[in-house]
């Protein structure tokens, strides 16, 4: 599987990891790295354009990422899903195994900063997110208009926002 090409979206609130096996076979993983983790999997046959049309997002952009970065996003999605009670289907598990995702050991906090996607969150923030996520998974409202919206950010981003505000800089 050395010919794999890996991509991600940069949409707020969700993340799609796209793994191109060849010109007509794609693996599509929907993740919610700020709440429920792993959400869905589809094996898609066809072009990326046809995939975009199928998911109803013809203008969505996919950005190249390394295979290791893709596997790390997927592994973190699995860990979050396990922590909040989201079931992962056998097809997705089989692909995770084939792709070596289970061999990855993500470092740091379970959830990352909503702003920079890399910064660590405090244990208190992680526990708050887990409490909300577990409740919403149990109620079946994750991914709906009824779910709670929140944006936990790391200390560095918080400091940058504070400095921008106190210096009168508006981005």
d(CA 124, CA 111): 11
The model's pTM: 0.89
pLDDT score at 165: 65
Which of 1-15, 17-31, 34-48, 116-130 shows the lowest mean pLDDT across its residues?
1-15
- Condensed to tens digits (0 to 9), the pLDDT of residues 76-94 reads 999 999 999 999 999 999 9
Q: Is there a contact between 84 and 75 (Cβ–Cβ < 8 Å)?
A: no
pLDDT score at 152: 95
Q: In 111-137, which positions are buried (b, 16+ CB within 10 angstroms) versus exposed (e)?
A: bbbbbeeebbbeeebbeebbebbbebb
Domain boundaries, the chain: 5-166
* CA geometry: angle 37, 64, 171, nearest 5 deg: 75
pLDDT score at 1: 47
Distances in whole angstroms, Cα of residue 36 to Cα of each of 11, 48, 58, 97, 117 = 16, 26, 25, 21, 15
């Amino acid at each position: 599987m050395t010919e794999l090409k890996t991509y991600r979206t940069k949409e707020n609130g969700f993340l799609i990891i796209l793994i191109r096996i060849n010109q007509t076979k794609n693996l599509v993983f929907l993740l919610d790295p700020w709440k429920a983790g792993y959400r869905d999997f589809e094996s898609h046959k066809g072009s990326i354009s046809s995939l975009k049309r199928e998911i109803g997002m013809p203008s969505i952009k996919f950005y190249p990422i390394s295979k290791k970065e893709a596997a790390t996003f997927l592994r973190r999605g699995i860990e979050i899903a396990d922590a909040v009670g989201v079931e992962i289907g056998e097809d997705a598990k089989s692909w995770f195994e084939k792709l070596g995702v289970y061999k990855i050991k993500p470092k740091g906090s379970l959830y990352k900063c909503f702003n920079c996607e890399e910064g660590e969150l405090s244990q208190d923030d992680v526990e708050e997110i887990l409490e909300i996520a577990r409740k919403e998974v149990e109620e079946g409202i994750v991914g709906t208009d009824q779910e709670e919206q929140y944006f936990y950010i790391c200390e560095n981003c918080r400091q940058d926002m504070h400095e921008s505000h106190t210096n009168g800089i508006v981005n």
